[in-house]
A and B are shown apart, each in its own frame.
Chain A
Amino acid sequence: MTAAAATAKEPPRARRPGAWALFANNRLAAAGLVILVAIVLVALAAPLLPLPPPDITDPANRLIRPLQEGHLLGTDQLGRDLLSRLLYGTRMSLAVGVSATLVAALIGSLLGLIAGYAGGRTDNVLMRGIDMLMAFPYILLALAIVAVLGPGLMNALYAIAVVNIPFFARNIRGITLGLARREFVDAARLSGKSNVAILGTEILPNVLPTIVITMSTTVGWMILETAGLSFLGLGAQPPQADLGSMLGEGRKLLFNAPHVSIIPGVMIFAIVMSINLVGDGIRDLLDPRLRSGALARPAARTAVNRESVADAPREENANALLALEGLNTRFEVGDEIYHAVNEVDLKLNAEDCLGVVGESGSGKSVTAMSILGLVPTPAGRIVGGRVNFHGDDLLSVPLERLRTLRGGAIACIFQDPLSSLHPLFPVGEQVAEAIRAHQPLSKEEVRQRTLELLQLVQIPNAEQRLSAYPHELSGGMRQRVCIAMALANDPEVVIADEPTTALDVTVQAQMLRLLNRLRRERNAAVLFITHDFGVVSEICDRVAVMYAGRIVETGPAEDVIHAPAHPYTRKLIDCVPVLGEQDRQLDAIPGLPPAVNRLPEGCAFADRCDRARDDCRVGNVELAALNKEGRAVRCLYPLVEGAEGSG
């Protein structure tokens, strides 16, 4: 165990654009924030400004139009200065709106937390109570509450807070319900924490962003509701200034003196609009999915940005079915460049099964996804190399051609069948769709073909299973459906990305048996991505081992496994316990793979290798041929004699 080595050179934390930069990027939200801050500052400063008192009447100067000397916004029907009343009214409306939000958030969130965490009967009782609140039209409920308590700004505040409790309670309960079943809550329970401590210190911090989002999106609404109650005369009582009551008073003079009602109306509009814009901005900022950029819709194909491209495939690849030449794919996140795939050469002949082996982050999946341009852009970008399919460069063919190839001549099977099947359509429909996308067949023919495919992958009672939904099938059955979809259009190449990793061992055995049979019957070449050398032995003819985005060793599967030439391959095989060899000491690989945004010079494995010498850490180690059977290794001191490493 050399954890010290493991952690000696840890990757620096990835730099993402900061919260503030992200917020400022959203122009509307930034504009909203500017307006809101200006309004709040002016409202707060109202007592300090040289304004006439808001409640002193002056009948002699009533209904002065705006922009007059001494009264910038004019006066109302009692001769009170409108600017002064506007600012004091804004203060009042903001204060009531914000405090109502706080009260509703506090009580609502508390109810939601308790209901979501306790579950069962408590949840039922609390949530049915909340449902009863929601059963009344909210304004009617507010009116009823004010009617009972009597008019007044404080009572209006209570009414609005009560009316809005359900929003918070329901929202927070939903989130808490999910969190309460998470493993870290179990872990806290096993740490001896009480239920109250778990709610307060484990769940609340995770719920807080949602509470803030809900608050930021409801506060504008609350201000509007306060204004509404005041407008009806149930909120602020004369002579107190409040935007709603100002509006209500001005309503009677709408034609004679429109400014008396328009001015507070514009102010309400400005406040609510700016708060909503800021709220949307905050929501986008705090939502983790939006933050990771997942909602940025990826382009239809990976961006290709090559400096130079060869005109034709290399000579040795002239007859290959699929050949990758010097493929370079990277991810650009902020200022960081992640070199996921570096100078990868792969060759797949017809009816071949090539295994690509590596640990997570070794670039094996990105390599496979680059073939059909499925690496998501933005972030992903292919910056060099050729992908030859029958000699054509797939990176430069038109999108239309690429679309017919995807799921047509080149098909994919992914690791998790549950997430690659659509949950809302029957599986038969999904297989049929794969057929229809590529073949102009009649409805009956498609159905017939779908049935054949499901029978081909040995789904029992295929006829009935046509109308089954993915959740009604076991993991193995779902993966069979995915295989059926991949085979729907008689592909020449099947890219299988860890197709058995998520399956149980007996199901995996069935699946490997099926894949092996099908690829021979159908003459399909398979690019099989896996981390398990046992699986490679079962199904692959040749194997390529990847580490830190590079191929470090390639050759016939049996030769590589029995006599690995690269120290990494050797260690990767030796660190897995083998059935029947109980007493073997596991040869763990010390440390971690290098971060692909900070690849070291020389061999990327040198820091974890006990054979590394000084020259391993300089220059570029080439993939050098080891013998005539296609074995090659990227190592200066390979474990197998037969060829000199280059260098």
Chain B
Amino acid sequence: MLLEVENLTRQFGGGRTLTGRRPVVHAVSDISLSIDEGRTLGVVGESGCGKSTFARMLVGLDQPTSGSIRLAGHDIRGGRSADGRPLSATVQYVFQDPVSSLNPRKTIRQTLTAPMRHLLKMDAGQRERRLDELMDAVNLRPEFLDRYPHEFSGGQAQRIGIARALAAEPRILVLDEPVSALDVSVQAQVLNLLADLKRELGLTYVFISHDLSVIESISDEIAVMYFGRVVETGPGSTMFHRPRHPYTGLLLRSAPVPGQRRIHGEPKPAELPNPFDPPPGCAFAARCENARDDCRASVPPLDIATPDAADPESGKAHVACYHPLAEKPDKNAPPTP
């Protein structure tokens, strides 16, 4: 396992103030995931589910309240990987908004050389060579190096963001909604670029998105998050054909597909629970058709979905639900045109 996350929890707030205690928000609760070298883990969820907080902890931009992140077996709590180098030389991050992740007053050259200078300690000649390689890798012309971020379109800026992440020669890229700010035609260019880079450089991706179809198209494994917890994990190839958690089912029913009139919005407007006062049981129970009393009493653990030795899929898929969706592939599976 290249990257292992165990019982990761992040709380905001808490602590004392002059007038009493500050309320605690659980942004991420008790996440355990792992990913093999060269694979892509897709993390999908809606706003407020904690997926960005999770991503920021993976790259060390935020520190977990409890739990551990291990990189090749080595705990990264100190901000360093096993070989003593800074964590960011191994794990890099691609931001959602490509333009705001570039300093408006620095040229692309200055932005791209910073990781080479500070993380890899390259000299000027090595940096020049690496710059050429990088611009070539992300299909940008070298003369762009001396321009400023506002001169680029969103797609070009995101390529620069990817080049900046690659400049440190990382093994893992954490991509936080890297294409959701882009136009659809440019989104496909960037997704194809990411696929090419992964193949050529043997990278491992943690790909975070709210878009089910993007997640499905790029992921080897998928984790679905809701209200700070992972509610379902499984192989990317089958998970959306066979959702087990009612929330995954709802997500699938809500996604529009060109050429089909198929989505069923929930009849009642539904909202996330109050993060300051989370329910004792499953956070999704209030929106769930299958919810029963035990769902509201305690949080269901993430367990193997089908503990059936005969099923070859057994052990790969996990679901945090006391009453998972029954196997009715024709009802919940995504349509095949």
Footprint of B on A, CB under 8 Å?
1-4, 6-7, 13, 182-184, 186-194, 197, 201-202, 205-206, 359-360, 458-460, 474-477, 480, 504-514, 531-538, 558, 561-562, 571-573, 575-582, 584, 586-590, 592
- Which residues of the other chain, B, contact A194 by a CB distance below 8 angstroms? 118
Is the C-beta of B334 less than 8 angstroms from some C-beta in chain A? yes
Are B258 and A537 in touch, CB under 8 angstroms?
A: yes
Besides A187-B102, A188-B114, 13 more A-B contacts (Cβ < 8 Å) are: A187-B101, A190-B59, A190-B88, A193-B118, A205-B105, A504-B210, A505-B254, A509-B254, A513-B263, A513-B264, A534-B257, A572-B184, A576-B184
> Given A186-B95, A192-B114, are A577 and B88 also a contact pair (CB < 8 Å)?
no
Residues in B323-337 with C-beta less than 8 Å from chain A: 333-337
Are B139 and A1 in touch, CB under 8 angstroms?
A: yes
Are B268 and A579 in touch, CB under 8 angstroms?
A: no
11 pairs, A vs B, C-beta closer than 8 Å: A7-B140, A187-B103, A191-B167, A192-B114, A506-B250, A506-B266, A513-B263, A534-B257, A536-B258, A558-B259, A592-B186
Q: Which of chain A's residues has its CB closest to B258's CB?
A: A533
Is the C-beta of B97 less than 8 angstroms from some C-beta in chain A? yes
Are A187 and B251 in touch, CB under 8 angstroms?
A: no
Q: What's the minimum C-beta distance from B76 to chain A, rounded to whole angstroms?
A: 14
> Given A183-B95, A506-B250, A506-B266, are A535 and B256 also a contact pair (CB < 8 Å)?
yes
Q: What's the minimum C-beta distance from A218 to chain B, rounded to whole angstroms?
A: 24
- Which residues of the other chain, A, contact B214 by a CB distance below 8 angstroms? 577
Q: Which of chain B's residues has its CB closest to A13's CB?
A: B151
Are B47 and A184 in touch, CB under 8 angstroms?
A: no
- Which residues of the other chain, A, contact B213 by a CB distance below 8 angstroms? 576-579
> Given A505-B210, A562-B259, A586-B192, are A184 and B89 also a contact pair (CB < 8 Å)?
no
Q: Which of chain B's residues has its CB closest to A571's CB?
A: B185
Are A191 and B258 in touch, CB under 8 angstroms?
A: no
Q: Which of chain A's residues has its CB closest to B218's CB?
A: A577
Q: What's the minimum C-beta distance from B334 to chain A, rounded to whole angstroms?
A: 3
Are A506 and B258 in touch, CB under 8 angstroms?
A: no
Q: What's the minimum C-beta distance from B18 to chain A, rounded to whole angstroms?
A: 12
- The CA-CA distance from A584 to B258 in the complex, in Å, is 15
- Which residues of the other chain, B, contact A359 by a CB distance below 8 angstroms? 183-185
Interface string of B167-194 (1 = CB under 8 A from A): 1100000000000000111111101110
B61, B217, B241 pick with most chain A CB within 10 angstroms: B217
| Residue of A480, A513, A562, A588 touching B192 (CB-CB under 8 A) | A588
Q: What's the minimum C-beta distance from A325 to chain B, rounded to whole angstroms?
A: 28
Residues in B56-99 with C-beta less than 8 Å from chain A: 59-61, 86, 88-89, 92-93, 95-97
- Which residues of the other chain, A, contact B240 by a CB distance below 8 angstroms? 579-580
- The CA-CA distance from A360 to B181 in the complex, in Å, is 11
> Given A3-B140, A576-B213, are A537 and B46 also a contact pair (CB < 8 Å)?
no
> Given A191-B119, A533-B258, A536-B258, are A575 and B265 also a contact pair (CB < 8 Å)?
no
- Which residues of the other chain, B, contact A188 by a CB distance below 8 angstroms? 103, 114
> Given A506-B250, A582-B217, A588-B188, are A192 and B89 also a contact pair (CB < 8 Å)?
yes
Is the C-beta of B253 less than 8 angstroms from some C-beta in chain A? yes
Q: How many residues of B contact A (CB 8 A)?
A: 90
Specify the main secondary structure of chain B where it touches its partner.
Answer: loop
Are B185 and A582 in touch, CB under 8 angstroms?
A: no
- Which residues of the other chain, A, contact B165 by a CB distance below 8 angstroms? 190
Are B185 and A505 in touch, CB under 8 angstroms?
A: no
> Given A205-B106, A588-B192, are A510 and B61 also a contact pair (CB < 8 Å)?
no
Are A480 and B269 in touch, CB under 8 angstroms?
A: yes
Are B86 and A192 in touch, CB under 8 angstroms?
A: yes
Are B103 and A576 in touch, CB under 8 angstroms?
A: no
> Given A190-B93, A206-B104, A474-B272, are A579 and B265 also a contact pair (CB < 8 Å)?
no
- The CA-CA distance from A401 to B188 in the complex, in Å, is 45
- Which residues of the other chain, B, contact A506 by a CB distance below 8 angstroms? 46, 250-251, 254, 265-266, 270
Are A191 and B334 in touch, CB under 8 angstroms?
A: no
- Which residues of the other chain, A, contact B119 by a CB distance below 8 angstroms? 191-192
- Which residues of the other chain, A, contact B191 by a CB distance below 8 angstroms? 577, 586, 588
- The CA-CA distance from A91 to B46 in the complex, in Å, is 64
Are A3 and B139 in touch, CB under 8 angstroms?
A: yes
Q: What's the minimum C-beta distance from B49 to chain A, rounded to whole angstroms?
A: 9
Are A534 and B258 in touch, CB under 8 angstroms?
A: yes
- The CA-CA distance from A510 to B93 in the complex, in Å, is 33
- Which residues of the other chain, A, contact B123 by a CB distance below 8 angstroms? none
> Given A1-B189, A577-B216, A588-B189, are A538 and B256 also a contact pair (CB < 8 Å)?
yes
Are A537 and B269 in touch, CB under 8 angstroms?
A: no
Are A580 and B241 in touch, CB under 8 angstroms?
A: yes
A13, A512, A576 pick with most chain B CB within 10 angstroms: A576
- Which residues of the other chain, A, contact B234 by a CB distance below 8 angstroms? none
Is the C-beta of B146 less than 8 angstroms from some C-beta in chain A? no
Are B269 and A580 in touch, CB under 8 angstroms?
A: no
> Given A504-B47, A536-B258, A582-B216, are A192 and B118 also a contact pair (CB < 8 Å)?
yes
- The CA-CA distance from A270 to B92 in the complex, in Å, is 57
Is the C-beta of B153 less than 8 angstroms from some C-beta in chain A? yes
Are A192 and B334 in touch, CB under 8 angstroms?
A: no
- The CA-CA distance from A508 to B263 in the complex, in Å, is 10
Q: Which of chain A's residues has its CB closest to B102's CB?
A: A184
Q: Which of chain B's residues has its CB closest to A517's CB?
A: B265
- Which residues of the other chain, B, contact A582 by a CB distance below 8 angstroms? 216-217, 236-237
> Given A3-B139, A504-B47, A578-B213, are A189 and B61 also a contact pair (CB < 8 Å)?
yes
- The CA-CA distance from A535 to B258 in the complex, in Å, is 7
- The CA-CA distance from A561 to B258 in the complex, in Å, is 7
Is the C-beta of B141 less than 8 angstroms from some C-beta in chain A? yes
Interface string of B259-287 (1 = CB under 8 A from A): 11111111011111000000000000000
| Residue of B95, B96, B159, B168 touching A191 (CB-CB under 8 A) | B168
- Which residues of the other chain, A, contact B228 by a CB distance below 8 angstroms? none
- Which residues of the other chain, B, contact A532 by a CB distance below 8 angstroms? 184, 256
- Which residues of the other chain, A, contact B271 by a CB distance below 8 angstroms? 474, 476-477
Are A572 and B272 in touch, CB under 8 angstroms?
A: no
Is the C-beta of B320 less than 8 angstroms from some C-beta in chain A? no
Is the C-beta of B127 less than 8 angstroms from some C-beta in chain A? no
- Which residues of the other chain, A, contact B92 by a CB distance below 8 angstroms? 190
Q: Which of chain A's residues has its CB closest to B149's CB?
A: A184
- Which residues of the other chain, B, contact A586 by a CB distance below 8 angstroms? 188, 191-192, 217
- Which residues of the other chain, A, contact B50 by a CB distance below 8 angstroms? none
Minimum-distance CB pairs A-B, first 4: A534-B256, A3-B139, A192-B118, A513-B265
| Residue of B100, B153, B262 touching A184 (CB-CB under 8 A) | B100
Are B259 and A589 in touch, CB under 8 angstroms?
A: no
| Residue of A458, A504, A512 touching B46 (CB-CB under 8 A) | A504
- Which residues of the other chain, B, contact A505 by a CB distance below 8 angstroms? 46, 210-212, 251, 254-255
- Which residues of the other chain, B, contact A558 by a CB distance below 8 angstroms? 259
